[in-house]
Amino acid sequence: MSPKLAKLNAGTEEEFVAALGPVYEHSPHFARRAAGKRPFADVDHLRHALQQEVNHAPEEEKIALIEAHPDLVGRAVLTAESQGEQASAGLTDLSADEVDAFRRHNAAYREKFGFPLIICARMNRKETILEAFPQRLQNDAASEKKAALAEIHKIAALRLHDILWAN
């Protein structure tokens, strides 16, 4: 077992939330709820429990979670996690034309769906994200909400792995 998970199983709820709150962007309430389900036998069980908190949340909380994410190449002040994710996809090193393309895609996507495009930046590069925008824009709102939550779980799984296995 991850030594960090053993500590989180045995520690206080506050310690658990402090460590795992950032797994879902600006949404530590999911980690707080999962704290009540301890102990977790291994990282897979913990990941699943966090996912279940999101999947079983009321619709308005799911939408709020999607909306808690920043636009890629947007103007918001980023969490440390978001900053690293955007950098890993090469989004902090764009030409002026690429920045412009992201801004136009962000605006068109938000105009249609009312929330930002969510795609796991660490599993993509700027090119694949720019390709995804027009494809995702063709979907209906229900499919995009589903896609956004699936991508959020990928983002969360990578964040969880980092937290539990970092030295």
Rounded least distance, CB 128 to ligand GUN, Å = 12
Q: Which is nearer to ligand GUN, 9 or 88 (CB)?
A: 88
- Residue selected from 19, 34, 65, 118 as contacting ligand GUN according to rule CB under 6 A: 118
Do 37 and 49 touch, CB atoms closer than 8 A? yes
Residue span binding ligand GUN (CB under 6 A) among the ranges 4-12, 27-35, 58-66, 117-125 = 117-125
Of 30, 11, 73, 39, give the one whose Cα is nearest residue 159. 30
* Cβ atoms 51, 153 nearer than 8 A: yes
The one catalytic residue among 29, 69, 105, 153 = 69
Residue 53 interacting with ligand GUN (CB under 6 A):
no
- Please say which residue, 8 or 129, places its beta carbon nearer to ligand GUN: 129
The Cα-based distances of 109 to 10, 124, 135, 161 in angstroms read 44, 18, 11, 30
Could you say which of 23, 24, 54, 69 contacts ligand GUN (CB under 6 A)? 69
State the Cα torsion 158-162-88-27 to the nearest 10°.
Answer: 60
Catalytic residue flag (residue 69): yes
Number of residues forming the site for ligand GUN (CB under 6 A): 12
CB of 160 to ligand GUN, least distance (A): 14
Structure-token match 């389900």, residue found: 37
Nearest Cα neighbor of 16 from 41, 38, 43, 44 is 38
Q: Contact positions toward ligand GUN, by CB under 6 A?
A: 25, 69-70, 72, 82, 85, 116, 118-121, 155
